[in-house]
Amino acid sequence: MIRVVVIGAGNVAQHLILAFQKTKEVQLIQVLARNKMELSCLLDSNLITSDFNQLKEADLYIIAVSDNAIHDVSSQILFDNKLVVHTSGSTDMSVIHSKNRKGVFYPLQTFSKTKSLDFSRIPIALESENTSDYKLLEKVAKAISNEVYQINSEQRKALHVAAVFVCNFTNHLYQIGETICEENKLPFELLKPLILETADKIQTLSPNEAQTGPAKRNDTTTINAHLNFLKDENQINIYKTLTKSIIDNGKKL
């Protein structure tokens, strides 16, 4: 059994805690969180501490806190030469305090506390300083996911930027869709099948093959009608910027 400590109480920490509780290969021996109450419904309160001096000795410490707190948290780990990893897409492995062996355990998914997830289908991007640590991380990752990848810090930064485009920015486009519906007394429900199908399409077609719409067709009549319809400055700028990019992309193909 690999003994794991999770540090953090946010979305990623909570989903990891739930995932580890379902495995036989990994024993979650402790969770360290500033606010113990946040986790009280997830696991036995004996397993939770808010005191770094109470930290147990483990094979792996997973720091799942905000990016700018990773270094500070890693320096507070009492033990030396232990394997300590963070879960951040955009943070270099080197921010972890050098008294310990460093690694990264980055689950590539959008986590919300109120929505459960099948962790087995979440890709986990791993990185470590040496091969034996990588093998341990791989065992832990494979205990909860079928999609485990070795990815270096430079690639992980690229992956995180790509994730911002396909997840955070996409969700904001959904939000604009909802706003336009509300302003025109249309139920947002109308757009939900379209949103699901758009995401489902690129599971089998490439995004280039799946592209449709007025920009793809260079249909300036419709594009101008849409720009006349829009009143919000941010919506207009997003419409123009994305339309230009789709048209430019079409010229490249």
Residues 11-70 that bind its own copies (CB under 8 A): 11, 67-68
At its nearest, how many Å lie between its own copies and the CB of residue 29? 29
Q: In the set 53, 193, 231, 251, which binds its own copies (CB under 8 A)?
A: 193
Spell out a b/e string for 35-52, using b for 16 or more CB atoms within 10 Å of the CB, else e: eeebbeebbeeebbbeee
For 37-158, list the strands marked E by DSSP: 48-49, 60-63, 83-86, 101-107, 124-128, 148-150
The interface region with its own copies, picked from 27-35, 39-47, 133-141, 199-207 by CB under 8 A, is 199-207
Separation of alpha carbons 177 and 15, rounded Å: 29
Question: Can you state the angle between helices 170-183 and 233-252, rounded to 10 degrees?
Answer: 130
Collapsing DSSP states into helix, strand and coil, what is residue 22? coil
Q: How far apart are CA 179 and CA 186, in angstroms?
A: 10
Q: How far is CA 72 from CA 10, 13, 99, 170, in A?
A: 17, 17, 13, 33
Q: Of residues 22, 50, 150, 207, which one binds its own copies by CB under 8 A? A: 207
Q: Using CB under 8 A, which residues numbered 105 to 164 contact its own copies?
A: 108-112, 114-115, 117, 121-123, 125, 147, 149, 151, 154-155, 157-164
The contact mask relative to its own copies for 88-107 (x = CB under 8 A, - = no) is --x-----------------
Amino acid 108 reads L
Q: Is 196 in the site for its own copies (CB under 8 A)?
A: yes
Stretch binding its own copies (CB under 8 A), from 26-34, 36-44, 48-56, 219-227: 219-227
Number of residues interacting with its own copies: please give it, by CB under 8 A.
97
Find the shortest distance in angstroms from Cβ 247 to its own copies. Answer: 10
